[in-house]
Amino acid sequence: MKTTNGRPMPPRRGWNPRPVERRILLFLGDLVAAWVAWFLATAIWLWFAGPIPWSQWPAFYLSRPRWFYLLPFLWLLFLVELYEDRRATSWEETRRGLLVVFFLALLAYLGIYFYLVSGAGPRLLPRVSVAAFLVLAGVFTATWRTIYIHVLLRRLFLRRALIVGAGANGQTLWTWLQQSVSHPFLVLGFVDDQPQKRGMRIGGVEVLGTSAELPQLVEQYAITDVLVAIQGPIRGELFQALLDVQAMGVEVSHMNAIYEEIFQRVPIAQLDATWMIRSFMDEARKTVYYEVAKRLVDIVGALVGLALLALLFPFIALWIYLESGRPIFFSQERVGRHGERFRVWKFRTMLPDVHRERGRWAPEDEDRITRFGRILRKTHLDEFPQFWDVLRGKMSLVGPRPEQPELVALLEDRIPFYRARLMVKPGLTGWAQVNMGYVGTLEDTRIKLEYDLFYIKHRNLLLDLYIILRTFGAIFGARGA
């Protein structure tokens, strides 16, 4: 057995995936389920085509229409909302989501089929094979998700952890883990250098020893992770102990990194100005290539959005006018990148004779919202005029949502680091929007800021694409705020 400083390597307890590894595993399982469904659906197509010799089966599979190869990928696009941790770890949420995905995919197929039925539709869109794919993909995905939730998330696959620090920060970290529905840690104890804390229990978990005993505790309990719940400088002896256990194959993580990994937010209550300068600003700085690529994506997306707006405008405008008269649009001043002020335009969703008090949140279910306005908000269609702001560079497709100047001034006084969200252009959609519902309180706004800062810190084109796809999922599922 390999040794480190004369000590044996701690035994590993099976497979212990981290949150990002769980998400990758979930996606790969869905991908396999979709392709198995595709092969079986094609086999059903082959069976209906008549007796074909075994030697000709590969040629039959390869000769399918190009669009048929897209079915597994389209199925995964429909599943995008089910990768949110709360839904991915709840069978009830997963079951409900899969039913919605199945019927949305079926409606999409039927719409295309009947649109093309007057021409070559029946040949291009074989009913039996597509129906078989949808049923099989639904069954296999549900089976895989059941295995994932009821087997892979069980105690056996949790990462065995010790928390270093049994004070206020350690207790805060313990509380975070209890609040998470999907954290991967089985906390076996605390480590603290205050002798009087030995044997003390925090949430039913015991303080097992001091940092000097950390390597022995790692061996004794087969620890995979050491979670450091200390803010500020770390003593030399503790630092050496952490280096020793890291050399033994144990992962050492700070509580702030754990918070980001689990919740995909930034823990602003635990941060200080030093973190903002040394960590956040350094990691939030992006290359010119990303900025150019993001701008190109914004321009293309804005042109597509404005084309859709041109098609939908007569119908939306007429409905607004028939229900509540004029005006059709609503305009309001907002704060953009680096505090620049600009006006945003939206389709009016409220009664025209009711004026909103500036600089405050409005209740989510106020009577002043029209019936058609609720539909526009749920589907985000009221935001479509803002594609013009994206085209002219005041906004981006993805970023923190722009706020009123009065609210920005208020929140800068009450929430630490609120001004940091103005480092980037505001967006039509954002990381906070796809992870939260309506924001109407100071506490909700604090959580929303944590999501916004996480996006600013980690933003890249893949994350932007994921947010856009989840926004489409929210639109089709009518989850708009």
CA distance linking residue 407 with residue 335, whole number of Å: 10
pLDDT of 431: 93
CA distance linking residue 189 with residue 114, whole number of Å: 62
Mean pLDDT of 105-119: 70
| Angle subtended at Cα 205 by Cα 204 and Cα 209, rounded to the nearest 5 degrees | 145
CA distance linking residue 201 with residue 344, whole number of Å: 54
Residue 228 CA to chain centroid, in angstroms? 26
DSSP3 helix / strand / coil % (the chain, rounded to 5):
60, 10, 25
pLDDT of 252: 92
pLDDT of 478: 42
Mean pLDDT of 450-476: 87
Question: What three-state secondary structure class fits 282?
Answer: helix
Choose between 33 and 480: higher pLDDT.
33
Mean pLDDT of 262-267: 89
Q: Encode pLDDT of 343-374 as tens digits.
A: 999 998 888 765 555 555 555 556 678 888 88
Annotation: CATH topology of 158-263: Rossmann fold (3.40.50)
Question: Which residues 6+ apart lie within 8 Å of 318 measured at CB?
Answer: none
pLDDT of 361: 58
pLDDT of 363: 52
Instruction: Tell me whether residue 86 is exposed, middle or buried, using C-beta atoms within 10 angstroms of its C-beta: 0 to 12, 13 to 18, 19 or more.
Output: exposed
Q: Which residues are 4's β-sheet partners?
A: 7
Choose between 132 and 122: higher pLDDT.
132
Report how many helices (DSSP H) and strands (DSSP E) the chain contains, helices first. Answer: 20, 12
Mean pLDDT of 74-99: 87
- Percent pLDDT > 90 in the chain is 30
Question: Which residues 6+ apart lie within 8 Å of 380 measured at CB?
Answer: 429, 471, 474, 475, 480
Q: What is the largest CA-CA distance in the chain?
A: 82
pLDDT of 4: 41
pLDDT of 20: 82
Choose between 400 and 125: higher pLDDT.
400
Q: Encode pLDDT of 427-439 as tens digits.
A: 999 999 888 866 7
Band the pLDDT of 138: cuts 50, 70, 90.
very high
Mean pLDDT of 313-336: 89
CA distance linking residue 27 with residue 29, whole number of Å: 5
Cβ atoms of 424 and 337 closer than 8 Å:
yes
Q: Encode pLDDT of 32-61 as tens digits.
A: 999 999 989 988 887 776 677 777 777 777
Please, what is the average pLDDT of the chain?
A: 83
Write down the residue that tokens 């040949």 correspond to.
123
Question: Which residues 6+ apart lie within 8 Å of 150 measured at CB?
Answer: 91
pLDDT of 37: 95
Instruction: Tell me whether residue 188 is exposed, middle or buried, using C-beta atoms within 10 angstroms of its C-beta: 0 to 12, 13 to 18, 19 or more.
Output: middle
pLDDT at 383 > cutoff 80: yes
pLDDT at 125 > cutoff 60: no
Domain ranges (residues) in the chain: 19-152, 158-263, 288-476
Q: Encode pLDDT of 275-294 as tens digits.
A: 777 667 666 677 888 899 99
pLDDT at 385 > cutoff 70: yes
Written as six digits, the tokens of 466 are 């994921």
CB neighbours of residue 421 within 10 Å? 27
- CA dihedral defined by 19, 22, 27, 32, rounded to 10 degrees? 170
